[in-house]
């Protein structure tokens, strides 16, 4: 209940910024207040071209989510439309291998913590151990870890029944603070002794891997997304819809485009090499 109330409080605060209450009636304000630039575990992320996911784990200068939630180097916004940072693939190959990414926070972004799992990064339990995930659109569901390893850095569990938009959720052990991984999605294996449908999650990095991430510190802030698209901002919205993914690809290719960069880029479209 405390998690629900906390989430509701943030949403009410956003509504209070968007509308005024006078004489018992709701009235539009003279000017729209800025959306809160905050990243909270379990909240929604979105891109200018409409891809939505869930924030899985929050640290002081970054938040973790799934790599397929955007392009490497793309601007990420929170559920209020406020720019919170830039998506960085943990591996250049992105979702083609280890479906893990972090959002490098922009200047002014507030790290809102981990109200679902608590703080900490834990090792994944042995096969048969129970793990859980709470998505942006689904409540907590739990399942058992399996011996199956879909790809390097990825672990499979029995089906957890998540839906689109839940990708990026933190995976945790019930009753223990911290996360063991980031929810990726489902895989149907229709042959062999282990045929069935599985939920997959990416393992969290080690402390050494986090300390040596190539992108440290904060990035410059982008303008917030418009609350709604209308005739006044249609051109701007269209430019951002196309331009921000291209900007991400350009920033990645500027250092020299490698095969893993290409795999990561097209893997966002569900094409794996």
Positions of E strands within 3-134 = 20-22, 25-27, 38-39, 44-46, 52-54, 57-59, 62-65, 75-78, 83-89, 101-105, 110-111, 130-133
At residue 2, φ and ψ (nearest 5 deg) are -60, -35
Do strands 154-158 and 38-39 pair parallel, antiparallel, or not at all (unpaired)? unpaired
Higher pLDDT, 201 or 233: 201
Is pLDDT at 253 greater than 50 in this prediction? Answer: no
Q: What percent of the chain has pLDDT over 70?
A: 67
Q: What letter does residue 221 receive in the DSSP assignment?
A: P
pLDDT of 29: 37
Cβ–Cβ < 8 Å for 19, 37: no
The band of 196, judged by pLDDT with boundaries at 50, 70 and 90, is: confident
| Whether the predicted pLDDT of 153 surpasses 80 | yes
- Tell which wins on pLDDT, 272 or 107: 107
Structure tokens at 244: 């921000």
At 162 the pLDDT is: 86
Tell me how far apart the alpha carbons of residues 6 and 212 are, in angstroms, rounded to a whole number.
Answer: 33
Q: Which pLDDT band, with edges at 50, 70 and 90, does 2 fall under?
A: very low
Integer Cα distance of 138 and 157 in angstroms: 17
b/e burial code for range 146-176 (CB count within 10 A of at least 16 → b):
bebebbebbbbbbebebeebbbbbbbbbeee
Q: How confident is the model at residue 30, as a pLDDT?
A: 36
Name 185's Cβ contacts closer than 8 Å, sequence gap at least 6.
66, 68, 99, 162, 167, 199, 200
At 81-97, the pLDDT tens digits run 999 999 999 988 777 78
Range picked from 130-134, 135-139, 268-272 for highest mean pLDDT: 130-134
Residue 156 φ/ψ, nearest 5 degrees: -110, 150
For residue 133, the cross-strand partners are 141, 171
Please state whether the predicted TM-score (pTM) of the whole model is above 0.85. no
Tell me what pLDDT residue 33 has: 52
Task: Please report the pLDDT score of residue 185 as a whole number.
Answer: 87
- Span 125-149, mean pLDDT? 92
Average pLDDT, the chain: 77
- The 8-class DSSP code of residue 203 comes to E
The pLDDT, as a whole number, for residue 35 is: 67
Top pLDDT among 163 and 96 is at 163
pLDDT (0 to 100) of residue 247:
57
Q: How many other CB atoms are there within 10 angstroms of residue 73's CB atom?
A: 22
Residue with tokens 């793990």: 131
173-184 residue pLDDT tens: 999 999 999 999
Average pLDDT over residues 51-71: 94
Torsion 150-132-121-72 (CA) sign? positive
């Amino acid at each position: 209940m405390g998690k629900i109330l906390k989430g509701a409080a943030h949403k009410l605060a956003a509504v209070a910024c968007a509308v005024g209450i006078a004489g018992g009636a709701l009235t539009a304000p003279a000017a729209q207040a800025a959306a809160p630039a905050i990243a909270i575990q379990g909240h929604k992320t979105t891109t200018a071209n409409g891809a939505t996911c869930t924030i899985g784990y929050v640290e002081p200068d970054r938040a973790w989510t799934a790599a397929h939630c955007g392009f490497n180097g793309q601007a990420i916004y929170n559920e209020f439309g406020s720019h919170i940072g830039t998506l960085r693939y943990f591996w250049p190959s992105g979702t083609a291998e280890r479906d893990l990414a972090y959002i490098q926070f922009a200047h002014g972004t507030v790290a809102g913590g981990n109200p679902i799992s608590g703080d900490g990064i834990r090792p994944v339990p042995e096969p048969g151990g129970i793990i859980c995930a709470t998505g942006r659109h689904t409540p907590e569901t739990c399942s058992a870890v399996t011996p199956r390893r879909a790809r390097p850095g990825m672990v499979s569990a029995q089906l957890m029944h998540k839906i689109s938009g839940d990708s990026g959720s933190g995976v945790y052990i019930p009753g223990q603070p911290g996360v063991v991984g980031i929810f990726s999605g489902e895989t149907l294996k229709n042959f062999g002794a282990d045929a069935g449908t599985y939920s997959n999650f990416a393992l969290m990095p080690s402390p050494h891997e986090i300390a040596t991430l190539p992108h440290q510190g904060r990035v410059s802030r982008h303008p917030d997304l418009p609350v709604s698209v209308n005739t006044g901002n249609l051109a701007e919205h269209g430019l951002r819809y196309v331009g921000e993914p291209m900007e991400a690809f350009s920033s990645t290719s500027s250092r020299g485009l490698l095969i893993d960069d290409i795999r990561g880029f097209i893997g966002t479209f569900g094409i794996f090499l």
